[in-house]
Amino acid sequence: MDILFPPEVLHLIFSHLPSSEARSVRRCSKTFADIGAYHGFKKISLFLCRADFMKLGAVADHPIISKSVKTLVYNAANLMEPALTLGEYIERTSSPAFRPQVEITEPNWLPETALLKERLRTFAFSTFSERERISAEDIAENYAQYLKAVHEQRRILATKEDFVLFKDTLPKLTTLRSIVVFNHAWYTGDTTPKSPFDAFFCYSLISHEPHGARQTEAILHGIRDSGIELDHFKAGVLDLGLIGRPFFDGIRESCRKLRRINLVFDVVDPVFDDGPEDTGRYVRRAREKVDTGVIAHFLKSIPSLSEIYIGFSMSKGSVTMRAGYPADLPRVLVPGFRWHELQRIGLVGIETERQDMMAFFELHKDTLRSVTLRNCQLISTSWTRLFRQMKNSLKLEDFHVSGKLRGLPEAEEDYPGEDIDINDEGPGASNEWFWLGDLATEKDSLARDLSSWFLRDSAYPLTQLFMEDPGRFT
């Protein structure tokens, strides 16, 4: 195929295509193959499995793709141990709960005819119990592939093959600027990456304990002394035990050009949490870690940061809030210290006072363009007062406040029509309590209304002391 445009024009055209489309046209010609390779692999996602490790090795050895990868996403969730038995696998495959997963694996190890009768019957409005089951032979073949992946995972962890892989491959990705390590789909900000484990009828994933530690350590090992000038490091949701000098020193030593940091730690044990008492134990542990000042010292040691996002996962939000908040703002951001290039700030699970929060915003108002707050508390001051001060002082392009907010009203005129006694104290005192929902995932939410007020002068939505997102229970 003759190319009518010079490479410079084609590069410009390809730069506007989604990565998937850039990859799809690579077969048209040699020129398209090279340019598509450069623009089609900006982000690489992988899990801890043999197939993905081979993929990363091939990317690192490719003369063009290796020079175009900007972001590496590493999923810290592994196949759960112990492995399912064949009997358990067959039983789960036959259950309605796992049926959607079974159906999407058809292109992998499921014969084309296996679900044919089932689909015909479905079109005839048959009930689930009348559907024809997949044969035991088909399930056994899929199970064999699943078991192989579990065994490979064990070998990788036992031999530290992941450390060897990253030490060999990451230095070859000369344009790599961003690394994401995650074990929760929502944390990436994207849909869950395609997983090789989706080829299995039944499986469960869990992060290798302590959560996120193994994957983060392996990644930093590969980056250290590689010459890669990493700009962005994002990891979550991480075990509280990682909060300490060795973890933060490892990031700083491996990422000397860091400008954006995004870390979220898990306050609630995702497996063994049994209720408020157990959750309170994790909150106290978080506060003990944060109160050492190690997070604040780490952030202060990188004065060139343009983005800071520090959070504590409230995976059981209402329970965790009754137990307290994991961190005070001054223990995370040193009061009075200024990051002269800071454009974005995100805080999750933090408590503070309006004055301290506003002092930080005033200090950074010349550069700050984005604020994200989630599940935070003002101890004895008002969110309404803070938001109005922020709007008068800051020139933001993005304002995202979500989850639960708690505070105290400071003036009766802030809530006309509400019966407020600002001098009242104790259990009967008036409190601000807002459940805002999520601006990113809900079309109608208080979070969206609040953002609209801040950025576009809509009506102020938090007019009552107690307000819940209308879509919370829908």
Write the pLDDT tens digit of every residue in 23-33.
Answer: 666 666 666 66
In whole numbers, what is the pLDDT of the chain averaged over residues?
82
Last residue of a domain, one of 228, 256, 289: 228
- Count CB neighbours of 250 within 10 A: 18
User: Residue 154: which domain range?
Assistant: 41-228
Contacts of 268 (CB under 8 A, 6+ apart): 279, 282, 313, 314, 315, 316, 319, 320
Residue 178 pLDDT > 50, yes or no? yes
Is residue 350 domain-shared with residue 442, that is, in the same domain? yes
Q: What are the CA-CA distances from residue 92 to residues 95, 143, 281, 362 (Å)?
A: 5, 11, 35, 56
Q: Which amino acid is at 471?
A: G
Is residue 427 domain-shared with residue 358, that is, in the same domain? yes
Is residue 79 domain-shared with residue 180, that is, in the same domain? yes
Structure tokens that stand for 372 in this block? 């994200």
Domains in the chain, number: 2
Q: Is residue 23 situated within a structural domain? A: no
State pLDDT tens for residues 290-299. 999 999 999 9
Predicted confidence band of residue 469 (pLDDT cuts 50, 70, 90)? low
Q: Is residue 1 situated within a structural domain? A: no
Helix (H, G, I), strand (E, B) or coil at 78: strand
Q: Residue 206 in contact with residue 231, Cβ under 8 Å?
A: no
Q: Residue 385 in contact with residue 460, Cβ under 8 Å?
A: no
Distance between CA 7 and CA 4 in Å, rounded?
9
- Count CB neighbours of 125 within 10 A: 6
Is residue 205 domain-shared with residue 277, that is, in the same domain? no
Structure tokens that stand for 300 in this block? 């202060």
List strand residue ranges (DSSP E) for 148-284, in order: 178-182, 205-207, 232-239, 260-266
In degrees and rounded to multiples of 5, residue 324 shows phi and psi of 115, 180
Is residue 318 domain-shared with residue 434, that is, in the same domain? yes
Distance between CA 209 and CA 238 in Å, rounded?
10
Predicted confidence band of residue 459 (pLDDT cuts 50, 70, 90)? very high
Distance between CA 193 and CA 183 in Å, rounded?
11
Is residue 96 domain-shared with residue 153, that is, in the same domain? yes
Is residue 377 domain-shared with residue 437, that is, in the same domain? yes
Q: What is the mean pLDDT of residues 133-156?
A: 86
Of 88-92, 126-130, 204-208, 430-434, the range with the lowest mean pLDDT is 126-130
Q: What is the mean pLDDT of residues 229-252?
A: 94
How many H helices and E strands in the chain?
18, 15
Residue 373 pLDDT > 80, yes or no? yes
Q: Residue 57 in contact with residue 46, Cβ under 8 Å?
A: no
Helix (H, G, I), strand (E, B) or coil at 235: strand
Q: Which residue has the tokens 């002394």?
A: 225
- Say which residue, 164 or 314, is predicted with more confidence: 164
Predicted confidence band of residue 13 (pLDDT cuts 50, 70, 90)? low
Residue 190 pLDDT > 60, yes or no? no
